[in-house]
Amino acid sequence: MQLMKSNLLAASSALLGALALSACVPPSPEPTPVPSPTPTPTQAQPQAAPVQVVTPSFDNWMDAPQTPGDWRYAGNAGDPLASFGTGRTPDTVQLIIRCERASRRVSIARAGTAPGQVEMLIRTETQDRRLTASPFREGDIELIVAQLAASDPLLDAMAFSKGRFAVDVTGKSPIYAPAWPEITRVIEDCRR
């Protein structure tokens, strides 16, 4: 029992000594707060550069995507024509192939304006030709028109071009139109 008391006393003394020593150690200081950065006057943020639209270019015009639209044929009692565009209203028509039966001439008309005569380049799979086109206005409709004889082989090249042909007028975006049967029908009507 004596041994137990002395062990207990020794353990108590050691514990009290540890507590006394820990009381002598000053408590750890509170962490010092990190000062928040002082706001500085902001510089004017540079404005983002405007988005630039890049028009793709193609080594071969036949690689360019087709211009959106469809051909429509109209051959009532008047002169037959095929119109190409995204709708049926004059403001949606981009290209017209029209037969003038009395003169046996075919007009190729592109939507748009021109200050005077301009060059119209017709491109097909088998031939390219530069034509002289003139501005034409009827009411609100403004066109740039070139004419060919109904027997001109360029018309056959347009009708039978592999998939499409191009109409390119100086100062305007080219039109890449499909070579659909409506064109052939206008040409044939004009040759009768």
Question: What is the 3-state secondary structure of the chain?
Answer: CHHHHHHHHHHHHHHHHHHHHHHHCCCCCCCCCCCCCCCCCCCCCCCCCCCCCCCCCCCCHHHCCCCCCEEEEECCCCCCEEEEECCCCHHHEEEEEEEECCCCEEEEEEECCCCCCEEEEEECCCCEEEEEEEEEEECCEEEEEEEEECCCHHHHHHHCCCCEEEEEECCCCCEEEECCHHHHHHHHHHHC
Kindly state whether residue 21 falls inside one of the protein's structural domains.
Answer: no
Domain with 185 in it: what CATH number?
2.60.40
- Evaluate whether residue 14 is within a structural domain: no
Total domain count, the chain: 1
Residues of the domain holding 94: 63-191
Sheet with 70-74: strands ordered across: 70-74, 81-85, 93-100, 105-111, 141-149, 128-138, 118-123, 164-169, 175-178
Per-residue pLDDT reduced to its tens digit, 18-54: 334 344 445 555 666 666 666 555 555 566 667 766 6
Give the tens place of pLDDT for each residue, 39-94.
555 555 566 667 766 656 677 888 889 999 999 999 877 899 999 999 888 889 99
In a domain, 181, yes or no: yes
pLDDT band of residue 150 (cuts 50, 70, 90) is very high
Residue 109 lies inside a defined structural domain of this protein: yes
* Domain presence at residue 11: no
Q: Within a domain: residue 3?
A: no
pLDDT digits (tens, 9 = 90+) for 103-138: 999 999 999 999 999 999 999 999 999 999 999 998
Tell whether 38 is covered by a domain. Answer: no
Residue 100 is assigned to a structural domain of this protein: yes
